[in-house]
Amino acid sequence: MTPTAPVTRFAPSPTGYLHVGGARTALFNWLFARGRGGKFLLRIEDTDRARSTPEATEAILKGLRWLGLDWDGEPVSQFERRDRHAEVARQMLENGTAYRCFSTTDEIAAWREANPRQPFLSPWRDATDLPDAPHAIRLKAPRDGETVIDDQVQGQVRVANDQLDDMVLLRSDGTPTYMLAVVVDDHDMGVTHVIRGDDHLTNTARQIQIYDAMGWDRPTYAHIPLIHGEDGKKLSKRHGAVGLHEFAALGYPAAAMRNYLARLGWSHGDDELFDDAQARDWFGLEGIGRAPARLDFKKLEHVSGHHLGAMSDAAVLDELDGFLAETGADPLTATHRQRIAAAMPALKEKARTLPGLLDQARFALIERPVAVEEKASKSLDTVSRGMLKSLTAAVQNASWSRDDLEAAAKAVAEENGVGLGKIAGPLRAALAGTSATPSVFDMMTALGREETLARLQDQTDLAG
């Protein structure tokens, strides 16, 4: 890493699953760092001990791994750094940028009631006669002028200092506040760029004051707009999937999710479909817009279909293995894998998601005797079964290439004075038991000679 390379971080709170908005924030940080030879760090903000659990932390790590976002070094626990946070608060006391505040909770509440919509003004800010009693440590924030945020997305944001109170850095029980911990951790981790949701923008002015009080260099800030649902409202459960694990369970490949999430709030000209290398090369903070992005499942399916089609057959099989394991389904047998691999070009052509691909591959997964759905069974009458019997004889010694199989089927159709469609319908029912399948000739080549002839024989036996 060169000295000028950026250091970014993703700092989730482990209080549940990895939200799709958090996943996009992680992706933006990852792209920015990886595209510039920098570092992407992970910090778990687990100071809320009542809500933070090892299981929730593992869910976040699992989500990042599934999305394909690797991080540098070991994840940092914010809770484990609490002594360092307290050390900085005491250091600020010594340099005069913080003070001891002995105001009680009741006193602060009474002050706020008497002075609504005004920041709390502690009577202890400039006091010299201090009691020996429990106290908090507060930032001695500037009272005049403005705190200016030069944000790479939102532009220059100005906050009047008289609208900010002297925030608590260290509580009376000795525990550090989130605001202090974030700044100390970002500084100590060498973070150069803080890329996060714009719901954190109100915190930034306060955090900048801590940087200034300590004489530390400020990081570059970029506050990205949140993700909304298709109706333009804040994304919630009513819009469908909101957790990254839910998108994985719906069968969207990780590569498609990276592509789609990158385009939620960021653009590179009119490019909609791209791979990881292009995303790393193109991504920049200047391409992030200020308006909230809208989650569009139809567009996601389009992106997903593109990536499934672009993947190697082996990569799609790996994705299927992961999807089946994630959803608790039975793994593919060696025979199933062989059949699906043989039909993969046809399967990838129409599939938009992994479940969609599995639906198309149903013919390769079922066992004899094939159960025929009611709609498909209507094409299996005495005449059609007779044609299947003729087709069985015609392909017994065929080379089993797609072209030869199609030629044999056309010849049987001509002998019976019908079009190819009249034999394709019953052939589809015999091989797959349904009317919605890939091409019958793709199915025959994928199933192989022995299995195809056996399935046809099952139906022709019913003709008597």
Q: Which residues are designated catalytic? A: 237
- Beta strands 136-139 and 168-170 are antiparallel
What letter represents residue 40's amino acid?
F
- Beta strands 168-170 and 193-197 are unpaired
Ramachandran region, residue 157 (left: φ > 0; alpha: ψ -120 to 50; beta: rest): beta
Going through 198-337 in order, the beta strands assigned E by DSSP cover 220-224, 227-228, 293-294
Q: Is 324 helix (H, G, I), strand (E, B) or coil?
A: helix
How distant, in Å, are the alpha carbons of 218, 395, 413, 440 from that of 423?
73, 14, 6, 10
CA gap 305, 348 in Å, rounded: 8
Q: Is 212 helix (H, G, I), strand (E, B) or coil?
A: helix
Instruction: Give kind and range of the element (H or E) at residue 413.
Output: helix 402-415
Tokens at residue 430, please? Answer: 């015999």
Q: Does the annotation flag 39 for ligand binding?
A: no
Instruction: Tally the C-alpha atoms within 13 A of residue 397's C-alpha that lie toward its C-beta.
Output: 0
Tokens at residue 190, please? Answer: 């060498």
In angstroms and rounded to an integer, the radius of gyration of the C-alpha atoms of the chain is: 31
CA gap 303, 298 in Å, rounded: 9
Annotated binding-site positions for ATP: 237
Annotated binding-site positions: 237
